[in-house]
Structure 1
Amino acid sequence: MSEPIRFLGPEPVARRVAQRVSRRHLLAGMGVLGLGALTGCTASTDRMASSPAPDGTVENKLNLYTWGDYDDPDLLNDFKDSEDLVLQVDAFGSNEEMIAKLAAARGTSGYDIVVPTGLMIPQMVEHNLLQPLDRERIPNFSHVDPEFAGQYFDPDNTYSICKAWGTTGFVYDTEVITRPMESWSDFIEAAQNEADGRTALLEDPWEVCSIALASQGVSLNTTDDGELAECRRIVVELAPHIRAYLGNAATGMAQGTVSLLQAFNGDARQGMLEAGEGHSWRFVFPTPSANLWMDNWCVATGAPHPDAAHAFINYMLTPESAIANVDYIGYPVGTRGLEDQARQAELEDLGLIFPDQEVLDRLEASEYNEAQQTRVEILGAAQARSGA
């Protein structure tokens, strides 16, 4: 039997079929996940060390630290077999969790590849948590769409390459909320009326605050004290109407206990696919604005298997890997011609994977700024009032 892919976390759980783990939230208890006959190992929380690689080959281990269930297991298995290595995948539930672990290790975490959201990359570089990429070992970077290269957080792609991108909106049950829903103001009104006690928000301070800030028509990245004070008022007043703060809209949709959910577009798509034909859910790319986020392939400082890390990133950027991953995770991965590939492959709900240009034009990329702690405090106050 070939060496397994090892999925590690705090407690074991079964592989989820009807409920995917969100890219931003690790549902409680991510553990050793079996991939059929590939597993059957006793997992250790120690990162795996590698034997030295002969010239011209990659090391025989690779340690990946990423969001839960964020890559097609078939792709991981194919790479593992093609390079004859042991692949270990650990999952984190937030950027903050990932950064804290890397910072505490001071270059000895044992991780090779990490997958931070773009707004976190400048501070990670400043604190020496990422090492520069060797682009000569990633020739498939040529497949990256220029629209998703050279971002403000890494203008020359020195440290990062787009892994996936998406946006945030909301999904609602049209049998419960029968009127048209288009804006964040509509969301707030419905949460206080038709969906009172049946509304879920994301468990993310920037995203929750963006509902209130967008409804005011101000920048989602504002640092203005007055605008943030009004944001706090709106969010805390909304709190008694909120049933739960979730990481995955698909989970809430499947449970049937909520009718209105703030959601990442890919998670909403997954929930609709799982609901099957004739479902009553509708996803909205809300006005006037919402988040445009990007997660990124990066190599951690002190990576023990840098050759394997670069080979893996290069493999994931091939057109074949890209379309397979889009089908699995429901998010574009930043390579050129991807929408045409998806259309030819007849992937379902393409409109949720690829927002129209009119939607993209009004999105605002999230930024890490001095008001982040204020946003954290606003979410904490809302959750306390909700009893969540």
Structure 2
Amino acid sequence: MKGFQEEYGVKVVQSNFDSMESMQAKLAAGNRYDVIFPSAQWVQKLTAANKLYPIDHSVLTNAPAIFDHYDYFADPWYDPGSAHSVPFTMYKTGIAWRKDQLGDELTGSWRDLWDDDARDHTFVLDDRDEVLGMAALLLGLPLNTSDVHELDRIVETMGTLRPYLRAFSSDDYLNLLGGDAWLQQTWSGDMAAVLWQADDPGLYGFESPSEGTPVNSDTYAIPANAEHPGTALLFIDYMLRPEVAAKNIGYIGYPMPIHGTEEVYDDLIASYPACKVTLEDLAGGHYFTGGSVESTRVRDAAYTEIKVG
């Protein structure tokens, strides 16, 4: 941000949202932002609602660093032709743990979250899709199921996990670094951030459970009501510069699909290969999709029931 401001004389004002739902509510209320960072399924939802500005790749001088090298993003499932978004980061969800408390190896299953040795030190993400998706994968159900009978099974399964849980919390890396979490459902990028911030990275492990791991990507997008879409495109193009992206990768711990930055991320996670996210993961993995109004309703209800207990 600072480099962009200094180079172009543009002041960047940041607004933070505690969830994608909050971001959507702000947009629906008419709030105006020039650039937002929706996840893949939210690009799908916002595009369907005509809330995103079309992006002309030809005006992005650094776009070839993505689209000439990462074919997946030329036509991703959530945004055909990447017509309304530009990829920002890639990540997957797994389990992080404290080796000093639980040992050097877990079993490689989502069932590891039920480890009695971590009782009251176990956290899951405070994220509807991640929680429902984790239980769905464990049970062999579709990741995005909205079948009420399958959701009942998910609620029942999560009910058996509740006695082990300290909290639902998406402050995953803070929970791990602070020692509160011995087991934490976590995003791979946040795990990488733990590794470079920890005094002793060897205390931590990360696994990709064998039942499957959700994969996702965050994006750059421009709201349809943006006041300065031209400046927004300039900002996105600046962020796509390989040297700028490399600095961001080192800071946030998430890989970016920009040619010339791969080595930075590989070095960051060299001792923790389970964190690595590949295009094969994105193309063939489990990903969250935007659902219908009814699907949203029943999934919201299931998640509320899980949290209330």
What is the TM-score normalised by the length of structure 1? 0.73
CA deviation map 1:20-51 (0-9, x unaligned)? xxxxxxxxxxxxxxxxxxxxxxxxxxxxxxxx
Aligned with 1:133 (options 42, 48, 55): 55
Q: Is the 8 A contact 1:235 1:378 kept in 2?
A: no
Residue 177 (structure 2) pairs with residue 251 (structure 1): no
Alpha-carbon distance, 1:203 to partner: 0.3
SS at match of 1:114: coil
Q: Partner of 1:378 in structure 2?
A: 302
Q: Is the 8 A contact 2:245 2:258 kept in 1?
A: yes
Aligned with 1:161 (options 86, 89, 92): 86
Q: Is the 8 A contact 2:189 2:255 kept in 1?
A: no
Q: Partner of 1:57 in structure 2?
A: none
Alpha-carbon distance, 1:112 to partner: 0.7
Listed as ranges, the gaps of 5+ residues in structure 1 are 1-75
Alpha-carbon distance, 1:357 to partner: 7.5
Q: Partner of 1:233 in structure 2?
A: 156
CA deviation map 1:193-241 (0-9, x unaligned)? 1111210010001101122111112221223332221111001221122
Alpha-carbon distance, 1:119 to partner: 0.5
Matched AA of 1:302: N
Q: Is the 8 A contact 2:93 2:208 kept in 1?
A: yes
Q: Partner of 1:116 in structure 2?
A: 38
Q: Partner of 1:277 in structure 2?
A: 200
Q: Is the 8 A contact 1:149 1:161 kept in 2?
A: no
Q: Partner of 1:100 in structure 2?
A: 25
Counterparts of 2:264 and 2:193, CA distance in 1: 19
Q: Partner of 1:303 in structure 2?
A: 226
Q: Is the 8 A contact 1:200 1:243 kept in 2?
A: yes
Matched AA of 2:102: I
Matched AA of 1:372: T
Q: Partner of 1:56 in structure 2?
A: none
Q: Partner of 1:209 in structure 2?
A: 132
SS at match of 2:38: coil
Q: Partner of 2:268 in structure 1?
A: 347
**Alpha-carbon distance change, 148 to 357 in structure 1, aligned in 2, over 3 angstroms:** closer
Q: Partner of 1:323 in structure 2?
A: 246
The aligned runs of 1:349-364 (5 Å cut-off) are 349=270, 351=273, 354-355=276-277, 363-364=285-286
The aligned runs of 1:50-199 (5 Å cut-off) are 76-105=1-30, 109-144=31-66, 145-178=70-103, 180-187=106-113, 189-190=114-115, 193-199=116-122
**Alpha-carbon distance change, 368 to 356 in structure 1, aligned in 2, over 3 angstroms:** closer
Q: Is the 8 A contact 1:236 1:381 kept in 2?
A: no
Matched AA of 1:160: S
Counterparts of 1:278 and 1:292, CA distance in 2: 24
Counterparts of 1:362 and 1:302, CA distance in 2: 34
Q: Name whichever of 250-259 and 304-313 sits farther off.
A: 250-259
Alpha-carbon distance, 1:363 to partner: 2.6
Alpha-carbon distance, 1:358 to partner: 7.8
Q: Mark the structure with the bigger radius of gyration.
A: 1
Matched AA of 1:166: Y
**Alpha-carbon distance change, 360 to 180 in structure 1, aligned in 2, over 3 angstroms:** farther
Q: Partner of 1:336 in structure 2?
A: 259
Give the root-mean-square deviation of aligned CA atoms.
2.1
Q: Using CA pairs below 8 Å that are at least 6 residues apart, which structure has the higher relative contact order? A: 2
Q: Is the 8 A contact 1:118 1:294 kept in 2?
A: yes
SS at match of 1:299: coil
Listed as ranges, the gaps of 5+ residues in structure 2 are none
Alpha-carbon distance, 1:359 to partner: 5.9
Alpha-carbon distance, 1:337 to partner: 4.4
Counterparts of 1:334 and 1:357, CA distance in 2: 9
Q: Partner of 2:289 in structure 1?
A: 367
Counterparts of 1:364 and 1:337, CA distance in 2: 27
Residue 218 (structure 2) pairs with residue 291 (structure 1): no
Counterparts of 2:281 and 2:237, CA distance in 1: 30
Counterparts of 2:112 and 2:304, CA distance in 1: 24
**Alpha-carbon distance change, 136 to 291 in structure 1, aligned in 2, over 3 angstroms:** same
Structure with the larger strand share = 1
Q: Is the 8 A contact 1:182 1:285 kept in 2?
A: yes
Counterparts of 1:275 and 1:313, CA distance in 2: 31
